Chain A
Amino acid sequence: MAPKRSKGAASRASSKASEKSKDRTTDSSSPFGSVEDSGVPKDIFPMVITTATQELFECRIDEDLTKDNPFKCLKKDDILQDMRMRAAVSDFHPVKQMVLDYPAEEILLVFDRDFTYGQSFYLVLTEEAKERTLNPPQAVEEQAVQDESDSIICKTPEPISWVSLGSDLEIDEESVVDTRARLKLKISRVRREFGAPVVFSDRNASETPDGYMECMPYQDKNFSIQLLERSTGIQAVPNRKSSTTQTIWKYPRNMYTQYQAREFTAEDKENCMNSENLKNFVNLVASRIEIALQQNEIMDVFFDDWRALSEEEVVFGGKTETHLKEYQSFTDLKFSKDKTISSINWHPTISGVIAVAVTERLSFEERINDSTKLLLNPSLILFWNFSDPLNPQLMLECPDDVFSFEFCPSDPNVIVGGCMNGQVVLWDISAYAERLQGGRAGGGSSTSANTNTIPGFEDKHENETPVMRYCAVSGIENSHKAPVTDVQWLPEHFEVSRTGVPLENKNLMCVQIITCGPDCCVMFWDIRAPRVAAQPVIDKQQKVEQTPLENPNGVPNTFSHLDLSWNPLIRVNLPKIDSSGEYSPLKFSFRDANENQLGGGADKSHHNAENSEGRAGYAQLRVPSAKQLKVLEDVSTRIFVGMEDGELIYTDWKMEKDSDSGRLFSAKPSRCFFVHDGPVNTVRRSPFFKDIILTVGGWTLAIWKEGVMHGPIMLVSCAAKRGTVGHWSLSRPGVFFIGKEDGNVDVWDLMEKTHEPSQTQNISTTSVTCIKPWIVSSKQHLLAVSDNFGTLHILEIPWALRSPVSKEKLIVGRYFEKEVEKLIYFEKQAEMRVKEKKEMDAEELRKKMEPAVPERVVEQIEEKSLKEYQDYLGLEKVMLKDMGLLPKEDSTEI
């Protein structure tokens, strides 16, 4: 059986190979069939098993092995035993070797009912097949069963003709087939060279042009198409860019917010006030507050005693020095010889420059006698500079002797002066301002240190003192009829209208002047050009004439509009209160005067410099219409005027309108005080108290308080010598200086003594004519004193007199208040006394008118006394009786 099997297997194998591809599809559905392939697989042995064997192994057909259960496992030993027993007869003889080789114990016998392998039984020879048979794959169990049955049936599939499904086309394409017959080339040599040696050589292909064929790449035009249109998708995305900015500094903008503080309404406040909460709070807190308040009252904890002790600067050896030290003295041999100085003024801005008005020292008669001589000698105002004690810096020419002059506070180059003939004079020294500031040495043989000048071409007059003529004089007809004794500038913040009403001054420059003189009037002058009247034709003509006359004497034409035609704005008369006639004023003082004599000209000059750039010259200023300007309410229009007869009046300069004639006239003064016994030569306000005034006249000096109308708050009379001039100290509220006619300067210190001067110092041999203090710096205070000989003495005020004691102003103020109270008290007492006197007089009168009454009275008194005596006797009796001392006479009465 073995060769048979192998052949069968081989034939099967070959048929399998040729038909593998064809049968694969049909066999794929039957795994069992594919496993077993067509025909009999190698490990299956179909065999016949006789009935006897069947019975032996219990595998009878249709009894033990049925269609449903075709498997039977036979023990290998049994089979071997059977084979030994029946040897060649056994059915298992052909598989003897197989069985012996079989590894396992049991061999599977399968009943092959359908004769799948040709016989009714087959034996599975391998374990795998056994497993396979026993345990067919379960997934396609049913199909497997069916396929098994199918495959079992059609073991050998018949070849089907191949249906082409199109795959052979691809295969044909892929296959490489000769498209044409192969060319055959026969290369042979020439017969005669057969067998000849062969010579081979190389040849470079690129040398010969046809040595090779190349296929160059070329740009195929088919592919270079210009893209004309292209549709692309785009997404719009905002472009982000980071940058920084900063506000431009050059362009600041104004920003503001407005807010208002929160407040409660009245009802809310009421509610709060009434709440319990507040009550408790206040009760709680009040005690703390009161303790703190009282602590403060008891003692000032922060008061530095040590520092207060050493408040005063330590001056070596100078602390007790109270003398006025002579600093410098100015005399001009040429110009001030035999003359006297009538007025002194310090230059407000330039330090070290002082101006002095020099006048003739002659009485009225002598003046008349020497009038011709006087005309030849012009009167002068000299400017002295500390750097040059011998030569004045500048000289101002005056039409006549100047008794008083003043620098303009807003423009120190303008000076106004009052002359002896009653005229008011104006100077403009702007041309020489630098000269004054430079303080060049003038006169004599001193060479100037000016390096600009070319030698040989020097100005001959350079070293001489320049003389400057006045710019403008007032018209003689309307000026004062007596010497102008006092001139003052109105401060720059207000001006006065035609009726005397103070108005706001928009120019912020001093434009008005007040003058007074013994011709019984006080005049107001305006240095601006008056409003143009309806005479333009005449003016034009005048202008045409005047143009060639500009600056004839080197005089600047700042005030040319005023020259010779200057008239006063207001004329205030001073009628007497009680009688007819008028007062003749010598000096005056008004409240809001810009007393700029305090020195320290630095900020002042700066202020003026600012002003001068922006303002027009005086010539361009016009008197504005009174209606346009604002009336200033707080400016006092009252002035104190000191008279020639020693009276001091208090009057108002405002003019009143007379209802009958419509003319303006001045009111009568409100008060007149007759205190001094000589002409009042000083009326000065204290720089510290705006309402305290010092007046000096005759042998008395008095201090007044504005508003106290009873009298002076301090009066010192009966001095030894007449006082000629007085001035307050600029740094100490309680100190003032009095000049005497014997050349003494009295220093009054109200902190020390109030009944006499604290010290007296002799300055010169003749009387003192003017005193003016000045503060140069905090360490240097100077006092300018002029005497009758024309010498100007500059004294230095010692530390003791210039530095104020602590709280000096307070103490002095209190002293004045006390004095005022005293005055008031005296007044009251006086009134009371008057009343009492009246009463007493009345009583006496009454007594005189009733002579009969006293008699009666006497009788009554006698009766009364008699009755009393009798009562007394009765009382005596009773007493004696009680005491048992009654005399025997009365014992009878018992």
Chain B
Amino acid sequence: MAEVEETLKRIQGQKGVQGIIIVNSEGIPIKTTLDNSSTVQYAGLIHQLMMKARSTVRDIDPQNDLTFLRIRSKKNEIMIAPDKDYFLIVIQNPTD
């Protein structure tokens, strides 16, 4: 658990990182550094998007799988790293 915390702290310490959320495969947030309402919103919305992206990739080539998803917006960038059971969402403000 300490290892996990340490890794997360390391990521959090990078420049411009606004928040980290760990979400399980159903879309329920497990660990977060943001406030509750934002977390729930991010988790729900990004979970759906992630499922869609993953299914898209796999539809095109069933042997392929999604490894990383980056959404760049005007204000910040959302990075999603999926896995079998969980996925990690990191929100960064790159230009700051």
Contacts and interface: CB of A to CB of B under 8 A. Distances in A.
Interface string B53-72: 00000000000000110101
Contacts of A274: 1
Interface string A252-291: 0000000001111000010011100111011111101110
Contacts of A297: 14-16, 94
Contacts of B4: 273, 278-279, 282
Interface of A: 261-264, 269, 272-274, 277-279, 281-286, 288-290, 292-294, 296-297, 300, 302-303
Interface string B1-28: 1011001101100111100001010111
A877 B3 CA distance: 71
Given A269-B31, A278-B22, A300-B94, A290 B85 contact: no
B30 A290 contact: no
B86 A281 contact: yes
Contacts of A296: 16, 77, 92, 94
A288 B67 contact: yes
A262 B28 contact: yes
A264 B77 CA distance: 27
Contacts of B81: 285, 288-289
Given A269-B30, A282-B8, A297-B94, 10 more contacts: A262-B28, A277-B86, A278-B30, A281-B84, A282-B7, A282-B88, A286-B7, A286-B11, A289-B11, A289-B81
B85 to A, nearest CB: 6
B66 to A, nearest CB: 12
A289 B10 CA distance: 11
- Which are the 4 A-B pairs with shortest beta-carbon distances? A296-B94, A285-B81, A261-B40, A293-B14
A263 B24 CA distance: 11
B3 to A, nearest CB: 6
B88 A285 contact: yes
Given A289-B81, A293-B92, A296-B92, A283 B15 contact: no
A279 B40 contact: no
B79 A293 contact: yes
16 contacts: A261-B43, A262-B27, A273-B31, A279-B3, A281-B85, A282-B7, A283-B7, A284-B83, A288-B67, A288-B81, A289-B11, A289-B81, A292-B79, A293-B14, A293-B90, A297-B16
Nearest to B24: A272
Given A285-B81, A286-B7, A294-B14, A263 B88 contact: no
A290 to B, nearest CB: 7
A39 to B, nearest CB: 107
A823 to B, nearest CB: 26
Nearest to B5: A273
B87 to A, nearest CB: 8
A288 B68 contact: yes
Contact of B11 (A269, A293, A300): A293
A285 B7 CA distance: 10
A821 to B, nearest CB: 20
Contacts of A293: 11, 14-17, 79, 90, 92
A272 B24 CA distance: 9
Contacts of B88: 281-282, 285, 289
Interface residues of B, number: 39
B6 to A, nearest CB: 10
A44 B15 CA distance: 140
A273 B30 contact: yes
Contacts of B90: 289, 292-293
Contacts of A279: 1, 3-4
Contacts of B41: 261
A302 B3 CA distance: 34
Contact of A273 (B1, B17, B77): B1
Contacts of A282: 3-4, 7-8, 22, 88
Contacts of A277: 85-86
A269 B36 CA distance: 14
A168 B31 CA distance: 117
B28 A292 contact: no
B58 to A, nearest CB: 19
A598 B90 CA distance: 40
A742 B68 CA distance: 67
A293 B88 CA distance: 13
B76 to A, nearest CB: 10
B20 to A, nearest CB: 9
A292 B70 contact: yes
A290 B26 contact: no
A789 B31 CA distance: 72
Contacts of A288: 67-68, 81
A278 B92 contact: no
A288 B83 CA distance: 12
A296 B70 CA distance: 11
Contacts of B10: 286, 290
A221 B3 CA distance: 115
B70 to A, nearest CB: 6
A263 to B, nearest CB: 6
Identify which of A281, A289, A300 gathers the most chain B CB atoms within 10 Å of its CB. Answer: A289
Given A281-B85, A296-B92, A297-B15, A289 B43 contact: no
Contacts of B28: 262-264
A290 B29 CA distance: 21
Nearest to B41: A261
Contacts of A269: 30-31
Contact of A272 (B15, B30, B40, B79): B30
Contact of A278 (B27, B29, B67, B86): B86
A294 B84 CA distance: 25
A348 B67 CA distance: 57
Contacts of B94: 296-297, 300
Given A269-B31, A278-B86, A283 B3 contact: yes
Nearest to B93: A296
A303 B74 CA distance: 11
A281 B3 CA distance: 12
Identify which of B3, B4, B72 gathers the most chain A CB atoms within 10 Å of its CB. Answer: B4
A279 B83 CA distance: 12
A296 B76 CA distance: 10
B42 to A, nearest CB: 11
A289 B1 CA distance: 19
Interface in B34-59: 40-41, 43-44
A560 B29 CA distance: 64
A284 B81 CA distance: 10
B29 A263 contact: yes
B81 to A, nearest CB: 4
A288 B81 CA distance: 8
A399 B85 CA distance: 81
A290 B90 CA distance: 10
B2 to A, nearest CB: 10
Nearest to B90: A289
Nearest to A262: B28
Contacts of A303: 95
A296 B92 CA distance: 9
A286 B1 CA distance: 15
Contacts of A273: 1, 4, 30-31
A155 to B, nearest CB: 107
A264 B17 contact: no
